[in-house]
């Protein structure tokens, strides 16, 4: 393969290099994958209104998230079981994020444990994604370990009371390869639900049915907040109504996310939901976005709509499969440079120059013709 020059080049290699079990798990969305396609396509419905004759000789992409400085507003979203993409998995991703001076979010369902990822990350910024388990002791243990290992925020996933139906995983009877494990869990009961080799359904579906708490309410967020001093970010909000409730229950941040289009098919693309959420919170908490970000102009559009930063998931896996840590770094470098170029060509020398007036929606744009 020739040297990749955009994120799509990494995807091409990824699709050819992994076995079907892993490739389909990482790539697929829920049901007929309407939202999976729309997450990417929706960005094209927003058009840029660049400003001219502005000094962009020194473009500064630095920003802060939860009070921590990062070199550019593109972090790494939590993605599970990364050792299916590369033998070093989350450890390689953590090293890449640290070297690029951005944030990595570690999945609860990682194939590298909280502590070894922290060691690999060094002083790099890291957050921990949390599912709420039926066994409160399991959840509490994960929180305490993340705190002790220097993670700076908890990202609580709220859109998975049950697992969405992913047809590819059902067809493949997805299971975690036998040489891998969910490294953050030591108890056999937690491991066995996803490690079963003979099954009639996706092993991950069986796992969530057995162990994830599907009785969550907003009081659960209050409980998490009472148990930790770390900032709590809720992941999976798509409406203004829920954004207001999140603020009322004391969250520190919101990640506008549809779980990579892997839960409820037919929901908003995240870029379409972002404006409603930003308007609802009225600046009281930071708002982030994941889902469908594939190029620098996507980042620019999300920030113009009010996102503090974006997080990318699948492209990181593509880079990981391509060349481990180096591949992830290359993915981050490419989209970082694309974003810098988009800022400059739009007349934005710093993050605060990116305003809502930079965007117009396609329908409005067409009506002027």
CATH number for the domain that contains residue 351: 3.20.20.70
In whole angstroms, how far apart are CA 74 and each of 7, 168, 316? Answer: 14, 29, 11
Beta bridge mates, 359: 48
What is the b/e burial string over 121-156, where b = at least 16 CB atoms within 10 angstroms of the residue's CB? beebbbbbbbbbbeeeebbebbbebbbebbbbbbbb
The answer as to whether 367 is a domain residue is no
The answer as to whether 92 is a domain residue is yes
Which backbone phi and psi does 304 adopt, to 5 degrees?
-65, -30
The answer as to whether 173 is a domain residue is no
DSSP element (H, E) containing 64: strand 63-65
The whole-number mean pLDDT for each consecutive block of 10 residues of the chain, a chain of 369 residues, reads 93 96 97 98 98 98 98 98 98 98 98 98 98 94 98 97 93 94 77 49 70 91 97 98 98 98 97 98 98 98 98 98 98 98 98 98 57
Indicate which residue of 13, 148, 249, 259 is catalytic: 259
The answer as to whether 179 is a domain residue is no
Number of domains in the chain: 1
- In terms of residue numbers, what domain contains 68? 7-17+35-163+218-361
What's the predicted TM-score (pTM) here? 0.95
The answer as to whether 211 is a domain residue is no
In sequence order, which residues have a C-beta less than 8 Å from that of residue 119 and are 6 or more positions away? none
pLDDT score, position 367? 39
Closest by alpha carbon to 182, among 213, 140, 142? 142
The answer as to whether 49 is a domain residue is yes
The answer as to whether 236 is a domain residue is yes
pLDDT score, position 190? 54
The answer as to whether 252 is a domain residue is yes
Structure tokens at 34: 């309407």
Q: What is the DSSP string of 235-299?
A: EEE-SHHHHHHHHHTT-SEEEE--GGGTSSTTPPPHHHHHHHHHHHHTTSSEEEEESS--SHHHH
DSSP element (H, E) containing 157: strand 154-157
> 13 catalytic, yes or no?
no
Give the burial class of 34: count Cβ atoms within 10 A of its Cβ; 0-12 exposed, 13-18 middle, 19 or more buried.
Answer: middle
Count of beta carbons in the 10 Å neighbourhood of residue 272: 19
pLDDT score, position 202? 65
């Amino acid at each position: 393969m020739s040297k990749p020059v955009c994120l799509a080049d990494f995807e091409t290699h990824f699709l050819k290099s992994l076995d079907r079990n892993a490739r389909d798990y990482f790539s697929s969305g829920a049901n007929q994958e309407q939202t999976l396609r729309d997450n990417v396509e929706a960005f094209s419905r927003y058009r840029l209104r660049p400003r001219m004759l502005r000094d962009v000789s020194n473009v500064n992409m630095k920003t802060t998230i939860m009070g921590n400085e990062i070199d550019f507003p593109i972090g790494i979203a939590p993605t599970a079981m990364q050792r299916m993409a590369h033998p070093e998995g989350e450890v390689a991703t953590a090293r890449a994020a640290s070297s690029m001076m951005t944030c990595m979010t570690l999945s609860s369902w990682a194939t590298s444990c909280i502590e070894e990822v922290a060691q690999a990350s060094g002083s790099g910024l890291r957050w921990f994604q949390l599912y709420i388990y039926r066994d409160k002791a399991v959840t509490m243990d994960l929180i305490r370990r993340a705190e002790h290992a220097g993670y700076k925020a908890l990202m609580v996933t709220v859109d998975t009371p049950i697992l969405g139906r992913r047809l590819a995983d059902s067809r493949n009877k997805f299971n975690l390869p036998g040489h891998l494990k969910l490294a953050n869990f030591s108890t056999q009961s937690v491991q066995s639900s996803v490690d079963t080799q003979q099954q009639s359904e996706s092993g991950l579906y069986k796992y969530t049915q057995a162990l994830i708490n599907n009785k969550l309410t907003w009081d659960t967020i209050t409980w998490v907040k009472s148990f930790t001093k770390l900032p709590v970010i809720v992941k999976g909000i798509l409406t203004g109504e829920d954004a207001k409730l999140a603020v009322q229950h004391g969250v520190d941040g919101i990640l506008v996310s549809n779980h990579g289009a892997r839960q409820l098919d037919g929901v908003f693309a995240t870029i379409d939901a972002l404006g409603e959420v930003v308007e609802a919170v009225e600046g009281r908490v930071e708002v982030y976005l994941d889902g469908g970000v594939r190029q620098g102009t996507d980042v620019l559009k999300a920030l113009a709509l009010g996102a503090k930063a974006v997080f990318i998931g699948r492209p990181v896996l593509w880079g990981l499969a391509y060349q481990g840590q180096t591949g992830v770094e290359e993915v981050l470098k490419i989209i970082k440079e694309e974003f810098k170029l988009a800022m400059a060509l739009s007349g934005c020398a710093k993050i605060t120059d990116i305003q809502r007036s930079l965007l117009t929606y396609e329908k409005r744009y067409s009506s002027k013709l």
